[in-house]
């Protein structure tokens, strides 16, 4: 089971271009790892990479994201969806990109949660996860 403390090291290993930025984040928040803050910053990094047509790290990154959804504890699975997937959607939208450009990189479990986010924001479901079992 992947736990909170393992998430960012896994993502940084998959995305070495983020390593220096993450070290800066860690320096700012020395006392406590704030996973949702880290995920938001990482989402910005992924959108910046996409805008620069530098997606060579995406297969490894999104493979880790898929693992977080499948192998993570409850907190990690939720952070993978609400922290990272929703972060990518929001950051991409706010930067003039269609977030759906990221869908081809998503594994099946991540795609399921991506659609849940879309359905929630479109008012089709009352909460993210309403129409799936969180096994």
Mean pLDDT throughout 49-55?
96
pLDDT tens digit sequence for 79-111: 999 999 999 999 999 999 999 999 999 999 999
How high is the pLDDT of residue 135? 46
CA-to-CA distance for 14 and 63, rounded, in angstroms?
A: 9
| Statement: residue 30 has pLDDT above 80 | no
Element of type H or E holding 41: helix 35-51
| Statement: residue 33 has pLDDT above 50 | yes
Which of the four pLDDT bands, split at 50, 70 and 90, describes residue 12? very high
- Would you say 89 and 18 are in contact if contact means Cβ atoms under 8 Å apart? no
CA-to-CA distance for 32 and 93, rounded, in angstroms?
A: 29
Question: What dihedral angle (degrees, nearest 10) is formed by the CA atoms of 9, 44, 112, 6?
Answer: 10
SS3 content of the chain, % helix, strand, coil (to 5): 70, 0, 25
């Amino acid at each position: 089971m992947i736990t909170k403390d393992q998430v960012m090291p896994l993502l940084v290993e998959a995305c070495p271009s983020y390593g220096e930025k993450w070290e800066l984040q860690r320096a700012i928040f020395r006392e406590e790892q704030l996973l949702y803050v880290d995920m938001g910053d990482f989402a910005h990094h992924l959108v910046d990479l996409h805008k620069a047509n530098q997606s060579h790290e995406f297969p490894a990154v999104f493979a880790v994201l898929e693992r977080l959804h499948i192998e993570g504890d409850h907190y990690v699975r939720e952070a993978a969806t609400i922290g990272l997937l929703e972060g990518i959607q929001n950051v991409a939208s706010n930067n003039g990109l269609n977030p759906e450009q990221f869908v081809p990189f998503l594994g099946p479990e991540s795609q399921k949660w991506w659609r849940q986010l879309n359905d929630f924001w479109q008012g089709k479901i009352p909460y993210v996860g309403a129409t799936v079992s969180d096994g």
